[in-house]
Structure 1
Amino acid sequence: MSDAQFRAMLDALGRDAAPPETTPPKPSRVAVLGAGPVGQLLACQALAEGAEVSLHSVYGDELSALAAAGGITVRGAGLIGSYAVGDGPATTPRIRLAASADAAIRDADVIFVATPAAAHATYAGLLASSLQDGQLVVLVPGRFLGAVDFARALHMHLCSAEVTVADLDVAPYLATQDGAQIHVHALARQVALATLPVEAAEPTTARLRELLPMLRAVDSPLVTAFSSVTGVVTVAPLLTNTAALEGDRRQKVLLRDLIVPGLSETVIAGLDRERRAVAFHFGVHDLPPAATWLRTAYGDSPQVRDDPDEDVCRAIRDLEVFDDFAAVTGSGPRVIDDVPFTLVPLADAGRLAGVPTPVTDTMIALASSLAGADFARQGRTLGGLGLAGQRPEELRRRLATASGRRPHATTWRKV
């Protein structure tokens, strides 16, 4: 073989070979909206990875407290240490506090929205005119179809930027806050991430791998919607133990103490069965029971086999991370978020699929009565997301073809 023939063969092999895999650069500028424990931890994680970080909260007292403290102290699992906050010498990496959301997200690669789900659509409206092409918005967590709610609100407010909206099924951190100190009880071993458009899930997970290595891409926001177990695990214990929760707030109330065997084997098990039954009709198969999910996410082994005799009470009491996890402080369970943005859309999806959800309906009614609200009307519904009247397979197909392209609103933006 001549030299020319050999070079020609190498050229041909080079043309036919698959391009080498490249690791996307980690985000260099990160904005966090929401200064609760999870928001602060996301900001600390991004700072630790070398990013420029801006943190914003609509609550002025949260920002004032952080500015006065001058830092965030983290104890427990993972992010142990102190992280500088506010103005100061440029020689020390620090989390910058932003007085407005648009200032916080300016030129950010990634925007984490770590707020109650009730604020998702509001933030979308506030950010619609400030978002830039290529930015990534991540809802932590999204609750039920949070990415759909956020993307729909962006469209309604004529957002002219091409952005990717992602939602997580659960926050990466199980954490509580005591004053200026945040205690991380555990980092979730696996967190599902879905995006709109759906084909962006894998590259988005790769993009965030340095910040959140526990992320796992899934093929539809329906998966993150149904795989969230917070509504199953936390709502019933809180609604059936109001005397304990309304007592002396100086006394810590542990979640594990509120989940007794009788409640776990009846109400919690019923909520879990309904979640999985509705999910199956929407094409989300093989969801693990809540107890298995808990052991997989927070246990010692990443591989846990489904046990038909397992229940949430036994799992919670076996898992060391719940030994000191308070039910109502820090990022502890929020009935006002879980019921309208997890259970209400679950029941609505059940009606669409023809799957009865009597236990879920009962929890919604009880929560509404205790709160003096009508969560069934005020919560997130498929109709409110523009998805009413569609059969489950049609809804899944519609989400699969949803695009991240900008609405035809450029002209109106200039008026």
Structure 2
Amino acid sequence: MKVSILGAGAVAFGSAAFLEQAGHSPMLWSPSGRGTRPFASGAPLVAKGAIELEFTPRVAKDCAEAVQEADALLICLPGFCHKATMDAMAPHVRENQPVIISSHSSFGALYLSRLLAARGIRAPIIVWGTTLTTGTKSDETHVNVISVRKKIDVAAVPQSASDRAVELCTHLFGDRFVQRDGLLAIALSNLNPQNHLAIALLNLTRMERGETWGQAENVTPAVGRLIEALDLERLAIATALGIHVRTVKEHFSLSFHVTPASVSDMNQEMHRSGRGGHGPRTADSRYVLEDVPFGLVPTARLGRLVGVPAPLHEAGIALFSAAYGRDFTQANDLLPALGLESLTLDQLKALARDGAAVD
């Protein structure tokens, strides 16, 4: 299948390498154009680690070409790029053309659903709770793939398209998809924001000073306990909604192929095996700039909507806002576009189940 990947970061490169290795035909599009410029000039994409592959991917000259040339679309961008990317792609999406969001954040699928509905278009929007690969870019053409996840939670908008979504994702990426109870389950299945809250908050000076530091190595018992406490808040919100989501311990075990234990112990096992990775070397990291406004803020708001307080999530938002001198509750451009604050719980559930109505 022809799959256009919207993005040019480590996840996009890892996903492209996986698709190429699986016999599909990936095309890359970068919103700025910088991330794909070497490939447009004929340079190969080189993947190392969990995927070993060298190939030259196809490159789209613009978003319209990326959409028009694809059987399916895969969004692999930070949350703060989702709205602008959806605005760019929505005019070109075809009837029934699948769109996969890897990984979904901040109810972005509902925003895209509204854009398509305004055109009279119905298309399955497939949402993942996490990414296919983890890793880092070592330079503009090389990606170090640390891990290919064994399990990925998936759902679709509308929810009636979920079976088709699993079939498509399995065809493209293999038998690793676990169907969840709709978009709200996926909204609570992305564990990066809560995990990165603990990791970044308790290692912030390392990030500010540009130090090279081992991430898993520094998920000490204190950091691990904070992650586990944040996870209890997320699980309580899921319970109030009547949905089942994976625990953070299950996440680490399945994502990084380690023996189930405490969060700290699993991270130390990753470190000892050489798969612990490095933490951010700058305070201008997606761990904060993306995960706080597009991860923690929506989770905290969902908690308030169902009457389940999330004081640690709320404290994290406040602490990072104070440390960075900016209000991260105002840094999310998707929630205002959706009018989430004005939706009742029943309205949100209906929108998550059915998507926006097409006239």
Q: Calculate the TM-score normalised by the size of structure 1.
A: 0.78
Q: Counterpart in 1 of 2:164?
A: 203
1:335 aligns with 2:307: no
1:82 aligns with 2:54: yes
Q: Counterpart in 1 of 2:208?
A: 246
Once the two structures are superposed, residues 40-78 of structure 1 have per-residue CA deviations (whole angstroms, 9 ceiling, x without a partner) of 22222223333333211022322223445711111111x
Q: Which runs of 5+ in 1 are unaligned?
A: 1-27, 85-94, 305-309, 409-415
Q: Counterpart in 2 of 1:53?
A: 26
Q: Indicate conservation of the 8 Å contact 1:345/1:379, yes or no.
A: no
Matching residue's letter, 1:233: N
Matching residue's letter, 2:122: E
Counterparts of 1:383 and 1:57 in 2: how far apart (Å)? 25
Q: Counterpart in 1 of 2:227?
A: 268
1:72 aligns with 2:32: no
Q: Counterpart in 2 of 1:178?
A: 138
Counterparts of 1:51 and 1:243 in 2: how far apart (Å)? 43
Partner SS, residue 325 of structure 1 = coil
Matching residue's letter, 1:385: L
Q: Indicate conservation of the 8 Å contact 2:6/2:76, yes or no.
A: yes
TM superposition shift of 1:340: 0.8
Counterparts of 2:83 and 2:62 in 1: how far apart (Å)? 17
Matching residue's letter, 2:71: D
Counterparts of 1:253 and 1:352 in 2: how far apart (Å)? 38
Largest Rg, 1 or 2: 1
1:221 aligns with 2:193: no
Q: Counterpart in 2 of 1:374?
A: 327
Q: Counterpart in 1 of 2:269?
A: 318
Counterparts of 2:153 and 2:200 in 1: how far apart (Å)? 25
Correspondence for 2:151 among 190, 214, 218: 190
CA 1:333–1:129 in structure 2 vs 1: closer, same or farther (change >3 Å)? closer
Counterparts of 2:36 and 2:188 in 1: how far apart (Å)? 34
Q: Counterpart in 1 of 2:126?
A: 166
Q: Calculate the TM-score normalised by the size of structure 2.
A: 0.89
TM superposition shift of 1:254: 1.8
Q: CA RMSD in A?
A: 2.5
Q: For structure 1, which segment, 375-384 or 95-104, has the greater mean C-alpha deviation from structure 2 after superposition?
A: 375-384
Q: For structure 1, which segment, 111-120 or 382-391, has the greater mean C-alpha deviation from structure 2 after superposition?
A: 382-391
Partner SS, residue 184 of structure 1 = strand
TM superposition shift of 1:350: 1.1
1:31 aligns with 2:4: yes
Partner SS, residue 35 of structure 2 = helix
Over the matched positions of the two proteins, sequence identity in percent amounts to 23
Counterparts of 1:118 and 1:144 in 2: how far apart (Å)? 10
Q: For structure 1, which segment, 101-110 or 56-65, has the greater mean C-alpha deviation from structure 2 after superposition?
A: 56-65
Q: Counterpart in 1 of 2:308?
A: 355
1:149 aligns with 2:149: no
Matching residue's letter, 1:400: R
TM superposition shift of 1:384: 4.7
Once the two structures are superposed, residues 330-377 of structure 1 have per-residue CA deviations (whole angstroms, 9 ceiling, x without a partner) of 9x8632111111110111111111112111111101222233321113
CA 1:329–1:64 in structure 2 vs 1: closer, same or farther (change >3 Å)? farther
Once the two structures are superposed, residues 91-143 of structure 1 have per-residue CA deviations (whole angstroms, 9 ceiling, x without a partner) of xxxx2111211111114111111011122221221122211112111111012
Q: Quick check: which one's helix share is greater?
A: 2
TM superposition shift of 1:273: 1.3
What is the aligned length? 354
1:401 aligns with 2:354: yes
CA 1:160–1:48 in structure 2 vs 1: closer, same or farther (change >3 Å)? farther
Partner SS, residue 239 of structure 2 = helix
Counterparts of 2:38 and 2:338 in 1: how far apart (Å)? 36
Q: Which runs of 5+ in 2 are unaligned?
A: none
Counterparts of 1:116 and 1:381 in 2: how far apart (Å)? 13
Counterparts of 1:329 and 1:106 in 2: how far apart (Å)? 38
Q: Indicate conservation of the 8 Å contact 1:49/1:210, yes or no.
A: no
Once the two structures are superposed, residues 267-308 of structure 1 have per-residue CA deviations (whole angstroms, 9 ceiling, x without a partner) of 3233111111111111223x343123211332257xx6xxxx
Counterparts of 1:218 and 1:380 in 2: how far apart (Å)? 26
TM superposition shift of 1:395: 3.3
